[in-house]
């Protein structure tokens, strides 16, 4: 899939949103990393972190399709909550030795990017709503 969007194009789909693109990168990073988690964690931490990370992009997508600011804000806020879950689960993964500090830093950095973009999207929608 090509997720590039030129400046002339309008945002027509949730996949055009930078926050979704960066969130999708985070999803891929988590899936690749959790492949190496112990098999006995498949129904524990592996499943939990994968569900939380997918929830981020899913809620961004659902929020995009909503018509009112209140509805959009609700889904974008849920995405931020799921992102915080992922950050917590990354800390647990590092502290129990499932990921090393380098991977933790890389994925953690991506969570910060997604957080900033999601907060920006919320703020942008709030400004549109109030104008």
Residue 109, in any domain of the structure: yes
The pLDDT score that the predictor gives to residue 126 is 78
Is the C-alpha dihedral spanning 57, 80, 94, 44 positive or negative? negative
Q: What is the pLDDT of residues 5-44, one digit of tens each?
A: 444 468 899 999 999 999 999 999 999 999 999 999 999 9
110 lies in which domain range?
15-130
The C-alpha atoms of residue 46 and residue 30 are separated, in whole angstroms, by 9
* The pLDDT of residue 9: 62
**Eight-state DSSP code of residue 55:** H
Q: Is 118 among the domain residues?
A: yes
Residue reference for tokens 């974008």: 76
Average pLDDT score over residue span 65-91? 96
Is the residue at 6 inside a domain? no
Assess whether pLDDT exceeds 70 at residue 2: no
In the predicted model, what is the mean pLDDT of the chain?
A: 92
In a domain, 3, yes or no: no
User: pLDDT tier at 131 (50, 70, 90 boundaries)?
Assistant: low
71-80: long-range pairs with CB below 8 Å, 24+? 72/125, 73/122, 73/125, 73/126, 76/118, 76/121, 76/122, 76/125, 77/122, 79/23, 79/55, 79/118, 80/115, 80/118, 80/119, 80/122
3-state secondary structure of 117: helix
Banded model confidence at residue 4, pLDDT cuts 50, 70, 90: very low
What's 58's domain CATH number?
Answer: 1.20.1440.60
The domain total for the chain is 1
Tokens at 39, concatenated: 């098999």
pLDDT at 128 (0 to 100): 73
Q: Which tokens sit at 1?
A: 């899939």
pLDDT the model gives residue 6: 45
Residue 46 is assigned to a structural domain of this protein:
yes
Instruction: Report if residue 2 sits inside a domain.
Output: no
SS3 56: helix
Of 99, 89, 118, residue with least CA distance to 24: 118
Q: Could you tell me if residue 28 is inside a domain? A: yes
């Amino acid at each position: 899939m090509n997720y590039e969007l030129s400046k002339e194009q309008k945002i027509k789909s949730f996949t055009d949103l930078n926050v979704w693109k960066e969130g999708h990168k985070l999803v891929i990073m988590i899936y690749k990393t959790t492949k190496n988690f112990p098999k006995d964690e498949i129904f524990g931490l592996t499943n939990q972190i994968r569900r939380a990370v997918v929830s981020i992009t899913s809620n961004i997508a659902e929020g995009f399709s909503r018509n009112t600011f209140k509805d959009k804000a609700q889904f974008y806020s849920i995405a931020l909550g799921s992102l915080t879950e992922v950050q917590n689960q990354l800390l647990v993964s590092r502290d129990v030795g499932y990921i090393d500090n380098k991977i933790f830093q890389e994925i953690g950095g991506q969570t910060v990017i997604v957080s900033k973009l999601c907060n920006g999207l919320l703020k942008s929608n709030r400004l549109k709503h109030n104008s």
